Structure 1
Amino acid sequence: MTRKVIGVMAGVCLAVAAPAQAIAETLASALSSAYITSGLLDQNRAVLRAADEDVAQAVAALRPVLGWQSEIVRNYGSSNTQNFLTGEFAWQNVSATTASVNIVATQVLYQGGARVLQREAAKESVLATRAGLVSVEQQVLLNAVSAFMEVRRAEETVELSRNNVRVLDEEVRAARDRFEVGEVTRTDVAAAEAQAAAARSNLTAAEGMLAVNREIYNAVIGHYPGQLVPPGGLPRMPGSVADAKTLALRTHPDVVQLRHAVAASDLSVRIAEAQKSPQITLQGSYGLTDTWESESASRGGALTLGMSGPIYQGGAIASGVRQAMANRDAARAQLYTAGRSVEQSVGSAYAQLRIAQASQTSAREQVRAARVAFDGIREEATLGARTTLDVLDAEQRLLDAHAALISSQVDETIAAYAVLSSVGQLTSERLALDVPHYDPEAYYRAVESAPAGSRQGDDLDRVLRALGKN
C-alpha cells in the first residue's frame, strides 16, 4: 500500500472525531418545543379541568336548589245534579282550564355528612389528577430527550459510515492499481471490494435508521431536527441512590397520585356509610293559580320540613359499604406496590447510568488503543510487513471504537434524564425550560366556588382565554 493511500485513510479516520459545527438546536430548546406542542399534555390538562369541575359540582350540591314549575291543566266533564226548585236532575258541564306557576326552593339540611364528604373526595381527586399531569409531563420530556439523543446517535453513525465508505473506496482503487503492477494479488483486491460493499450496506442501514429517528423526533418534538448541538453536560441529580429513593417516595408523581387516591377511597367508605343516615330536607314554594272559566285566582306558598331514610333496600347499602372498603384496600395495596416499583426504577436508572459511564470510559480507551494500533499497522504495511486486509481490519476497529464511544455518550445522557424521571424531578420547572408553565391552580380557583355567571363567569372566561382554550 502506498503512503498516499494510507495518508488518506488516516486523515479521514481522524476527521471522524472532529466536532461538528454547532448551528441551531440544543437539547433545552428541543425539550421546550416538545412541552409546548404536546397534544398529550393538552389532553391531560383538559382531564384536570374536568376534575376541577367535580369540586364545583360538589360545592353546588351543598347549596339550595331553586327552580320553577308551571303547568296548564284542562279538566273537562259533566255532573248530574238535582235542581233545588223542581227536584229534577240534569247534566251540567264542569269543564275548566287552570294555569299555575310556582317557584320552589329545596335545601338538604342533613344527609349523614355525605355531601360534605363528596366535596372533600372531589378535592382529593383533583390533587391526584394534578399528580397524573406531572407524570405525563415527565413522560413527554423523557421521550423528547430520547428522540434528541437517538437522532444524534444516528447522525454520528451515518457520518462514520460515510467516512468508512470513502476510505474503502479509495483502498479499492489503490488495490486495483497495485494489482495492475503486480504488487498485490487478486485476493487483496477482492478483500478490499468486499469490505467496501459491506461499508455501503452499513451506510444504507444507518441512513434508514436516521430517517426513522427523524420521524420520531418530528412526532415528539413537533418539527424535524436541524443540526443538533451536543448537550453541554448532565443534569443535576441526587447524590446517592439512597437519597434518590427517599426523594422518589416523597415526590414522585405516581406515588403522590396514589396517595390522594387512597385518601379519596377512605372518604368513599364514609360516604357509603352515610347512606344509612336519614335525610332532612327543607322545601319552600310560592305560586299563582288561575282558573279561567270561573275567573278566579289564588296565590300562596308552603314551607315543608321533611325527613326520610332507608328501612330496607335488599342489602344494597351494606353491599355498597363493603365495595367501598374493598376499593380502599385495593388502593392502599396499589400505593404500596407503586412505592416498591418506584424504588426499583430508581435503582435500575442509576445502574443504567453507571453502565453507560463505564462503557464510555472503556470506549475512550478503545478509541485510543485502536488509533495506536491503526497507526502501527499502517506503517508496517508500508514496509511490507502487513497486508491490505490487516490495514482494513485495523481501520474498521477504529471506526467501531468511535461508534461505541458515541453510543455510550448518548446512553449516558438518556440514563441521566431517566434518573431524574425516576425520582419525579423531570419537569419543565425543574429543568428551567423557557416555556409558559401551566398553572393548575388558575382554573381551579376560578371554578371551586361553582360560579354560575355574571362577574365570576367573566373571570372564568378570562382564565380559559389565558389557557388558550376559548
Structure 2
Amino acid sequence: MRVLKRSIVGVALASALALAPLAAAAETLSDALVSAYRSSGLLEQRRALLRAQDEGVAIAVAATRPAFNYALSGNWRMTETTLATVTAATAAATLSSSLTIYDFGRSQLNIDLARENVMMARDTLVSVEQQVLLRAVSAFLDVRSAHETAMLQANNVRVITEELRAARDRFEVGEITQTDVSLAEAALAAARSSEAAARGQLMIAREEYKAAVGHYPNGLQVPPAAPMTARSLDEAKSLARTRHPDVLSAQRSVKVAEISTEIARRGMYPTVTANTSVARNFVSGPDNTTASVGVSVSGPIYQGGRLSALYRQARAQVEASRAALHVSVQGVEQSVANAWAQLAVATASLQATDQQIRASTVALRGAREEATLGARTTLEVLTFEQDLLDAQANRITAQSNQYLAIYNLLSAMGLLTVEHLKLGIATYDPEAYYNAVKGAPVFDISPQGERLDSMLEALGRK
C-alpha cells in the first residue's frame, strides 16, 4: 500500500513539475494544435480516403478512352485412324480495341459524379480536421485546469494542516474543546481526499492530452488571447451556413444524387461503340491474318423493370439528400447558438466567481481574526475556507469553459482550421494528388509525385 501511495504521489509530483508555468520548454496552445495536426492518425486515414476518391476521377476518365486487349492461344490435336495418325498444331494471336463513340453523355456525367465525390471527401477532411483541433484544445485546457485544481487542493491541505495545528495548540491551553479539534481533523481528511481525486484527474487529463496531441504535456503556458469569432449570433449563423464543412458536404451530396439520377435516366438509352481487331493464325499449312473494323449499337429493350426502378430510386435519393441538407443546416445553426450561449454563461460565471473570491477572501480574513478573539468557532472558520476554495475552483472551471466555448463557436462556424488559426505550418494540399491522377496516367509515379512526397514529409507523416 505504501509503495502504491509513493507511486501515485511520484507521478503527481512529476506531473506538477512538468506543468510548471516557468518550464524552459513550456508548450503553447499553438504547439499543441500543430502537434495534433501532424500526428493525427484519423487525419491520415481521411487523406488516404480522399486520394482513393481522386482515383475515381481517373477511372471515370479512362472509360472515355479506347481500350486495347490481346489474346494468345495455342492448340495441338492428334487424330488416329486405322490408316494413319495425323497431328496438327495451331496458334493464334489477336489484338482488339473498343471505343465508346456516343452514350448520350453518361461518360461525362460519371466524370462529374466522381469530381463531386472528391469535393465531398475534401469537406469531410476539413470536418475531421476541426474535430482533431477541437479535441486538442479541450485536452490542453483540461490539463491546465486539472493542474491548477490539484495545486489548489494541495494548498488547501497545507492551510487546513496549519488550522489543525493551531486548533490543537488552543485545545492544550483550554480555549477550545476536543470537538473543534475533531472538526479540523475531519476537514483535513476531506481535503486530502479531494487532493487525491484532483491528482487522479490530472493523470486522466494527461492521458487524454497524449491521445489528442501525440505526446504528454511538457509544461503548458497560459493560453493566448482567444481568436475572434463573430460580432453577433446572426453573423455567426450566417458564416456557419456558408463555411461549415458539414453543410458543404451535404450540398455536394445533393449534387451527387442529382447527377446519379440523370445517369440512371440515360441508362435507358443505347450506346454506340467502335470495335477493331487483328488476328493472326499460325497453322500447319499457310498462315493467315484477319482484320476487322465495325460499329455497334447496343441498348436495353426490356430489363424486367429494373432500369425504371433504378431511376425512381435515384429520384428518391435526391429528395433524401435535400432533406439531409436541411437537417445539417439546422444542426449547425443549433450548434452555433449553443456555443454562443455557453460562451455567455461562462463569461458571466467568470465575472461572478471573481466577485465571490474577493468577498470570500475578505470574509475568511475577518473570521480568522474573530476566531482568535473567541468570537468564531473552528467550524465557522473551516466553512469560510471551504467557501473560498469552492469559489477558486469554480473560477478555474469557468475560465476553462469560457475559452473552450470560443473554440466550440469557431468549430460550429466552420473556422477551426489550421489555415484560419494561422498556425504557420505546412498543411496537406488536396490538389496535389488530384492534379497528379485526374488525367488517368498509365504510370505509377506521376511528375507531381515528388511534390506530394515533399509535402507529406513536411507534415512529418511520410
TM over 0.5: yes
In structure 2, do the counterparts of structure 1 residues 366 and 20 end up closer, same or farther at CA, with 3 Å as the change threshold? farther
- In the TM superposition, 1:404-419 aligns within 5 A as 404-419=394-409
Report the Cα offset of residue 288 of structure 1.
1.8
Rounded Cα–Cα distance in structure 2 between residues aligned with 1:328 and 1:224: 47
Identity %: 46
1:314 CA displacement: 0.7
User: CA offset at residue 22 of structure 1?
Assistant: 6.0
Aligned to 1:467: 456
Amino acid of the structure 2 residue aligned with 1:74: W
Task: Write out per-residue CA displacement over residues 298-328 of structure 1, whole angstroms, 9 at most, x where no aligned residue.
Answer: 1241101111111111111111111111111
Q: Quick one: which of 420, 426, 446 aligns to 1:457?
A: 446
Using a 3 Å threshold, how does the CA distance of structure 1 residues 286 and 461 change in structure 2: closer, same or farther?
Answer: farther
Closer, same or farther: CA 327–77 of 1 in aligned 2, 3 Å: farther
How far residue 467 of structure 1 moved from its aligned partner, in angstroms, is: 2.4
Residue from 102, 115, 119 that aligns with 2:111: 119
Q: Which one of the candidate residues 44, 59, 62 is aligned to 2:61?
A: 59
The C-alpha deviation readout for 1:355-379, integer Å capped at 9, x for no partner, is 1001001011101111111111122
1:119 corresponds to which letter in structure 2? Answer: I
Which residue, out of 125, 130, 133, partners 1:141? Answer: 133
- 1:35–1:141 contact (8 Å) kept in structure 2: yes
TM-score (norm 2): 0.92
CA contact (8 A) 1:447 1:460 kept: no
How far apart, CA to CA, are the structure 1 residues paired with 2:42 and 2:140? 18
CA distance in 2, matches of 1:178, 1:378: 14
Instruction: Please point out which of 427, 437, 446 is paired with 1:447.
Output: 437
Question: Any idea what SS the aligned residue of 1:74 has?
Answer: strand
2:95 match: secondary structure: strand
Partner Cα separation in structure 2 for residue 465 and residue 33 of structure 1: 18
Matched, 1:344 2:345: no
Give 3-state SS (helix, strand or coil) of 1:361's partner: helix
RMSD: 1.7
User: In the aligned structure 1, how far is the partner of 2:313 from the partner of 2:75?
Assistant: 47
The structure with the larger Rg is: 1
Which letter maps to 1:312?
Y
SS for the counterpart of 2:279 is: strand
Q: 2:95 aligns with which of 89, 103, 107?
A: 103
How far the C-alpha of 1:464 sits from its partner, in A, is 4.0
Q: Which amino acid aligns with 2:413?
A: V
What are the within-5 Å matches in structure 2 for residues 83-232 of structure 1? 95-232=87-224
Q: Is residue 30 from structure 1 mapped to residue 20 from structure 2 by the alignment? A: no
Residues 286-435 of structure 1 mapped to structure 2, 5 A cutoff: 286-291=278-283, 293-294=284-285, 296-435=286-425
Matched, 1:437 2:439: no
Residue of structure 2 in register with 1:250 after alignment:
242
Deviations 1:207-236 (A, max 9, x none): 111111100001101111122111122111
* Partners of 2:436 and 2:447 within 8 A in 1: no
Whether 1:21 aligns to 2:28 is no
SS of the counterpart of 1:227?
coil
Aligned with 1:250: secondary structure?
helix
1:367 is paired with a residue whose SS is: helix
Instruction: Give the Cα–Cα distance (whole angstroms) in 1 for the partners of residues 327 and 205 of structure 2.
Output: 35
Count of paired positions? 439
Q: Match of 2:45?
A: 43
In 2, the alpha carbon distance for the partners of 1:465 and 1:231 equals 32
- Structure 2 CA distance for partners of 1:460 and 1:75, relative to 1, 3 Å: farther
Distance 2:424 2:23 in 1: 20
Unaligned segments of structure 1, at least 5 residues: 1-18, 80-89
- Is the 2:428–2:455 Cα contact (8 Å) retained in structure 1? no
**Quick one: distance in 1 between partners of 2:395 and 2:257?**
51
Q: Is the 8 A contact 1:218 1:225 kept in 2?
A: yes
Q: Normalising by the residue count of structure 1, what TM-score does the alignment of the two structures yield?
A: 0.90
8 Å CA contact 1:67, 1:104 repeated in 2 = yes
Q: Report the Cα distance in structure 2 between the residues aligned to 1:460 and 1:228, rounded to whole angstroms.
A: 38
Name structure 2 gaps, 5 residues minimum: 1-19
Q: Distance in 1 between matches of 2:98 and 2:79?
A: 36
- Conserved in 1, the CA contact under 8 Å of 2:347 and 2:398? yes
Contact 2:426–2:455 (CA under 8 A) maintained in structure 1: no
The DSSP-based 3-state class of the residue aligned with 1:282 is: strand
Q: Secondary structure at the match of 2:441?
A: coil
The 1:92/1:458 distance shift into structure 2, 3 A limit, reads: farther
Asked if structure 2 preserves the Cα contact closer than 8 Å seen for 1:36 and 1:435, the reply is: no
Match of 2:15 in 1: none
